Each structure stands twice: as structure tokens, then as C-alpha cells.
Amino acid sequence: MEISLNCLFESIIPHSIKLKNRELAKHSTHIEVYFSEDKIPSSWSQITGRSIFIQQGYLRAFEAAHIQNIKPIYCLIKEDGETVGAAQYHLVNFKGEGLRPYLPQEKNQTLSHIAEKTIMKWNWNLLISGNIFISGDYGFSFKTEIPRNRKLNLLSIAANYISDHFPDLNVQGILLTDLPETALGNDKDLLNHGYSRFEVESNMVMDIRSEWNSIQDYMKDISSKYRVRTKKVLKDSKNISRKTLSLEEMIENRAEIDRLYNNVVDNIKFQMGIVNSEYFIGLKRELNDQFEFDFYLLDGKNIGFISRFKHDNEIEVHLIGLEYEYLRSHKLYNRILYDQLEVAIEQKADKLIYGRTANEIKSTVGAEGVPLYCYLKHVCTIPNLIVGPFTKLFKPDEWVRRNPFKN
């Protein structure tokens, strides 16, 4: 079948093309690629089940926000004619200059200079398996009988297929992102096919004890040292109120949402993508009670917001907006963390997922780090030779784990 790639790229692809690659052929595998959520067939929802971040409601909200620098791509993966997996990819333009703040200071200044010069030249169209705004392995779903290492291989196969068959996308690098140990299995095949593995910041996760019915129950289980700290946070932030917004209220306050979110963006050293108020509004419209959005107010002024998802009896803290001047004086960030714990307790969640960043302060509440790993390769052999050595330069920031509990 002869297909015009320019035409497909612009008008969406509801096509399935059998693969001739040897690795795929021995598994009778073929991939279906779609560039729009509204072209995805019903078999997508059958395979994704309750996985909220690749349900079509979430995908619709993401597309409707028209987030710059990100093109969503969706794949259905079939073996022997049966759909066994669904995967979401984000195509982004990745510039190495954003990594400069993360380069370690080598004793050998010549080596540091070479590393910096090389990284600064990186300007890739990077195909990312997963969702760059969500920490964890939420970008794909497979039938339960598919073993872990096969899932990784199928994600790589689908990414290679996109790269090989849609040259207009000009894919230069592939990143399988945010995979916990439980999702990895045996990664020997990936490493043998040119991928380099590296660790990124941990996902901070807190188990919610079944005997907790209120924040007071939680405070009974923490040591006196941390109980004093918690009370100090609540005292310093007592004049701050939290309000959960309806869809209509979010629409009315879209300018404030953008303002507070951009405050955070301006303070982040490296950002692959930036959302907007339409993203949050779309999530509320599509997911309804599965997505919540809270404003924080002081004397009638919006000084922050937090967003979160409810899925699989878990609370997943999402993106945040802040007025930084209130972080120290009113312990705004600490208050937000404790409020999310209170929400998780009240809603009888099993887990509270705080996400990445600020690991130490999140551990003072009781969260523990779940290590996450990524696999990166350049699609061309020669450039890929330097990817491995350079990924070894990037390590998560060291942090001190705190344990607030008595036992």
C-alpha cells in the first residue's frame, strides 16, 4: 500500500501496517498508529481499562489544550491479530542546553568543557513513551499475560516503527521514561539494541494507613519532633483557606491559573513542556470528579493552587501554581502537602502519590521514594555511541530521607 506521509500527518492515520522487521515478524506483531484521539478505535478502551492517564477523556483534554512543543501519538499493538497493548507517545523538540544546570562539576575541567559543548549541540526531535507531565509508568497498558520484559520490547518496537515509517516526524531520539523497578523485568534486550539506562528523580509515594480517619490520627503516629513541626505549619498557615473549584469557577479564573502556574515554570531550570489553563479546564470537563483543582486564598487573594487525580483508590498530586513570597512566611508549600494528606485520608485512599521534586520535604510528611528509570537512544548508530557515556553524567540529586513516624 502506498501512503502519502504528508497527507497522513495532517489528516490523521487510522491505518494498520504490518511490519517486515525480523524482530516483529517472529512475534506476528503489527502496530496501528494514530495522531488524534478521535480516530482511536474502541479496542483502545478495551485494553486501557481504568488507566486514567491513557483513557480517551484525558487524551481529549490534552489535545484540546494545544500544548506547544508536544505532538501526541497513539499506538495499538497487536500480536497474532489480537490487541495486546496500547501506548501513548509524545514527540517533543529537546534541546541539550536545558541540561546545563544538571551537569556535574568534574575535577577535570577539560572533560567538563567537552561534556558541556557536546550537550549544548543536542537538538533532537525526541519520541517519548509516556506522559512528560505525569511521574510513573502511566503511558501504556498491556494485557496481564504479557511479561514485563516483553512490554518494554513492544514499547521500543512501536517507537522504532513510528521513527522508521513516518520520516516527516524526523524522530532522532527515543526515550522510554519513568519506569519503576516493578515495570522493568529483564532489560537485556533493550540494552543490546542501543538503549542506555539511567535513573531519574524518585516518585514520592505515601501509604495511607487504614486506621487513619483524620489528620489527627496521622499526628498520633508521628514522633513528637515531627508533630511539633506539623503544628507549626498549620499555625503559620491558619489564615490560608483552600477552595475546591467547579468547572465554571475554573473557567472564570483561567487568567489566575495561568499566572500562578507560570510563576512555577519561571523557577524551573529545565522544562520539556508547559501546560496552560485550558489543560486544567479540559481535565475537569472530561474527568469530572476524578480530577480536582484547589485554590489557596489569603485575604481574598489567590496565592496558589494544586491539582490532583483520583484513580484506582489512589490520590495522585498533579501540577501546582504558587506565589513564592508566601512559601516561608505562611509555609504555603508545606500546607499544600498536608492538605493532600488530609484529602487522601478523608477519601479513604490506599496511597498518596506526591510525584517528583522536593523529595526531602515530602519525606518529612511520610512519603518514600520509588526509584524511576529511563532508557534513551539516538536512532542513528554513530550519535548513539556518545549517548551512553553522557547519560552516566546525569544522576538524581542526593537527598536525606526523613522518617516522621514513631515506628
According to the model, what pLDDT value does residue 18 have?
41
pLDDT at 21 over 50: no
Contact 352, 344 (CB under 8 A): yes
pLDDT at 22 over 50: no
pLDDT at 277 over 90: yes
**What phi and psi values does residue 349 have, to the nearest 5 degrees?**
-75, 155
Burial (0-12, 13-18, 19+ Cβ within 10 Å), 14: middle
Pick the CATH number of 209-349 from 1.10.1760.20, 3.40.50.300, 3.40.50.720, 3.40.630.30: 3.40.630.30
Give the residue-averaged pLDDT of 358-384: 94
Element (H, E) at 71: strand 70-79
DSSP 239-257: T-EEEEPPHHHHHHTHHHH
Contact 93, 173 (CB under 8 A): no
Closest by CA to 321, choosing from 356, 296, 284, 342, is 296
Contacts of 185 (CB under 8 A, 6+ apart): 147, 148, 149, 150, 151, 152
Q: Angle of helix 381-391 relative to helix 109-120, nearest 10 degrees?
A: 130
**325-334: per-residue pLDDT in tens?**
999 999 999 9
pLDDT at 66 over 90: yes
Contact 172, 378 (CB under 8 A): yes
**What pTM did the predictor assign?**
0.89
- 5-200+372-391 and 209-349 in the same fold: yes
Q: Which grid cell is 335?
A: 500546607
Give the residue-averaged pLDDT of 375-396: 87
Going by pLDDT thresholds of 50, 70 and 90, the confidence category of residue 219 is: very high
Going by pLDDT thresholds of 50, 70 and 90, the confidence category of residue 292 is: very high
- CATH number for the segment(s) 5-200+372-391: 3.40.630.30
So where are the chain's domains? 5-200+372-391, 209-349
DSSP 280-349: HHHHHHHHGGGEEEEEEEETTEEEEEEEEEEETTEEEEEEEEE-TTHHHHS-HHHHHHHHHHHHHHHTT-
Residue 125 three-state SS: strand
According to the model, what pLDDT value does residue 108 have?
55
Contact 73, 159 (CB under 8 A): no
pLDDT at 123 over 50: yes
Pick 146 or 208 by higher pLDDT. 208
According to the model, what pLDDT value does residue 122 have?
76
Going by the DSSP 8-state scheme, the letter that residue 245 receives in this structure is P
Going by pLDDT thresholds of 50, 70 and 90, the confidence category of residue 110 is: low
pLDDT at 7 over 60: no
Pick 327 or 393 by higher pLDDT. 327
Q: Which grid cell is 31?
A: 502496530
Q: Which grid cell is 187?
A: 532489560
In angstroms, the CA 155 to CA 35 distance is: 17
Neighbouring C-beta atoms of residue 291, cutoff 10 Å? 24
pLDDT at 5 over 60: no
pLDDT at 241 over 80: yes
In angstroms, the CA 41 to CA 328 distance is: 50
Pick 44 or 271 by higher pLDDT. 44
Going by pLDDT thresholds of 50, 70 and 90, the confidence category of residue 119 is: confident
Give the residue-averaged pLDDT of 20-26: 47
Please state which of the ranges 1-10, 74-83, 203-212, 386-395 shows the lowest mean pLDDT. 1-10
Going by pLDDT thresholds of 50, 70 and 90, the confidence category of residue 97 is: low
**339-369: per-residue pLDDT in tens?**
999 999 999 999 999 998 899 999 999 999 9
Give the residue-averaged pLDDT of 256-265: 97
The mean of the pLDDT values for the chain is: 88
